[in-house]
């Protein structure tokens, strides 16, 4: 029988913090910089424009937590845990976003019924169908990572196999980056983000088994590549919004992200863990699903009626409240029922939840 994974409450807090950084990135910077609203925060955007790096933290956390939750699970148990965790809130998020877009969007975002139906699968990127909300792109990255973890559950997870797989994945990452593999290979390799997943998994191995020379070498290599790719991505984002990003700040944030998760692996953060942070973690995924397009629409509709700072604070509070309602009345009641339906047995212990927001 599988032993329930230890709950790392501090990660719940980190996840909500990362989500709020992404929310601020959208509301304080990309919303008006991308011409979605005229509510401008020019001064505040100097720091808010870096908020998309919350996604980088999410991917690093996913590497750690998903491997932790999959350890000792059968393939069926792992698939059921992911379906239960991801789909109920996602379906509700699509429904709410679609309704708000159609009724209040005033043509800001275009939706079609086939598009919405395809999005319900979470695999809309395969036929290249547009996401209902811009934030959903990260779900496709997560789903491909889950497929790799699923493969591990088939072959059996051992320390040696996982470490060998991490080195192989990192090697493939560099082969793709150097153009030595065809571009189609990146569909699986995900070279832009693989260093976060790999490092997160390596840090979980550190947490579970202790430090060894492979982890001591693997994580710094991933960090170096993460900094390199993050600086390049920042240049692309800057070109999109006609702003400049400081390579020094990008480097500092990425290093801090790795440092924080290393502290988690070292159990240094244990004194910060509080059971109440479970609620923070529970709000993260619904907040991520709901905040972007709905927030842009509400900012555009209310921008001439409310002080912009009051509007910003109020909108964040509304989104947090909506996230709580989705968790309380959708995820909590539906999760055990779906798990029983898919498992055809008594539900297994609830896995540590993960989630991802967007750039």
Q: pLDDT by residue (tens digit) across 332-353? A: 999 889 999 998 754 444 544 4
Long-range contacts of 112-121 (CB under 8 A, 24+ apart): 119/94, 120/91, 120/94
Residue range of the domain that includes 299? 9-343
What are the DSSP calls for 222-251, one per residue?
A: HHHHHHHHHHHHHHHHHHHHT----HHHHH
* Model confidence at 4: pLDDT above 80: no
Q: pLDDT by residue (tens digit) across 254-299? A: 999 999 999 999 999 988 888 889 999 999 999 999 999 999 999 9
pLDDT number for residue 276: 85
* Number of domains forming the structure of the chain: 1
CA distances from 57 to 26, 83, 173, 215, 290 (A): 17, 22, 19, 19, 19
Asked, for residue 353, whether it belongs to a domain, the answer is no
Question: How far is Cα 359 from Cα 346, in angstroms, rounded to an integer?
Answer: 38
Share of the chain above pLDDT 90, in %: 86
The three state secondary structure string of 309-345 is: HHHHHHHHHHHHHHHHHHHHHHHHHHHHHHHHHHHCC
Q: Mean per-residue pLDDT for 178-182? A: 93
Give the mean pLDDT of the chain. 92
Higher model confidence: residue 137 or residue 1? Answer: 137
Asked, for residue 83, whether it belongs to a domain, the answer is yes
Q: pLDDT by residue (tens digit) across 103-120? A: 999 999 999 999 999 999
Phi, psi for residue 344 in degrees, rounded to 5:
55, 35
Asked, for residue 4, whether it belongs to a domain, the answer is no
**Least reliable range by pLDDT among 227-236, 238-247, 275-284:** 275-284
The structure tokens listed for 112 are: 């079609």
Mapped onto helix, strand or coil, the DSSP state of residue 109 is: coil
Asked, for residue 349, whether it belongs to a domain, the answer is no
Q: Which class for 132: exposed (0-12), middle (13-18), buried (19 or more C-beta within 10 A)?
A: buried
Split at pLDDT 50, 70, 90, the class of 5 is low
Asked, for residue 216, whether it belongs to a domain, the answer is yes
Asked, for residue 185, whether it belongs to a domain, the answer is yes
Mapped onto helix, strand or coil, the DSSP state of residue 121 is: coil
CA distances from 103 to 35, 97, 112, 335 (A): 20, 10, 14, 30
Q: Mean per-residue pLDDT for 304-309? A: 92
Asked, for residue 156, whether it belongs to a domain, the answer is yes
* Model confidence at 354: pLDDT above 80: no
Asked, for residue 147, whether it belongs to a domain, the answer is yes
Which pTM does this prediction carry?
0.92
């Amino acid at each position: 029988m599988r032993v329930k994974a230890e709950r790392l409450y501090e990660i719940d807090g980190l996840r909500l913090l990362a989500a709020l950084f992404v929310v601020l990135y959208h509301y304080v910077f990309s919303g008006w910089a991308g011409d979605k609203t005229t509510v401008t925060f020019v001064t505040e955007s100097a720091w808010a424009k870096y908020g998309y790096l919350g996604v980088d933290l999410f991917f690093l956390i996913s590497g750690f937590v998903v491997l932790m939750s999959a350890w000792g699970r059968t393939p069926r148990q792992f698939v059921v845990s992911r379906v239960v965790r991801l789909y109920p809130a996602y379906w509700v998020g699509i429904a709410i976003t679609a309704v708000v877009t159609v009724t209040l969007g005033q043509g800001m975002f275009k939706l079609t019924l086939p598009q919405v139906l395809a999005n319900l699968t979470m695999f809309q990127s395969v036929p290249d169908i547009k996401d209902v909300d811009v934030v959903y792109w990260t779900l496709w990255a997560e789903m491909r990572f889950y497929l790799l973890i699923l493969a591990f559950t088939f072959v059996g997870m051992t320390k040696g196999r996982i470490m060998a797989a991490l080195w192989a994945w990192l090697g493939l990452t560099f082969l793709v980056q150097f153009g030595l593999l065809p571009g189609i290979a990146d569909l699986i390799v995900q070279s832009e983000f693989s260093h976060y997943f790999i490092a997160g998994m390596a840090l979980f191995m550190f947490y579970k088994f202790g430090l060894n020379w492979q982890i001591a070498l693997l994580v710094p290599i991933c960090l170096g590549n993460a900094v390199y790719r993050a600086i390049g991505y920042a240049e692309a984002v800057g070109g999109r919004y006609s702003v400049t990003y400081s390579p020094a700040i990008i480097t500092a944030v990425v290093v801090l992200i790795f440092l924080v998760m290393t502290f988690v692996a070292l159990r240094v953060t244990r004194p910060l863990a509080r059971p109440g942070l479970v609620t923070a973690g529970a709000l993260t995924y619904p907040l991520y699903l709901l905040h972007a397009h709905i927030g842009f629409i509400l900012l555009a509709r209310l921008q001439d009626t409310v002080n912009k700072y009051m509007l910003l604070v109020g909108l964040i509070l509304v989104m947090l409240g909506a996230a709580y309602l989705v968790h309380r009345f959708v995820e909590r009641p539906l999760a055990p029922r779906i798990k029983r339906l898919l498992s055809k047995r008594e539900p297994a212990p609830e896995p540590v939840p993960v989630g991802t927001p967007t750039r």
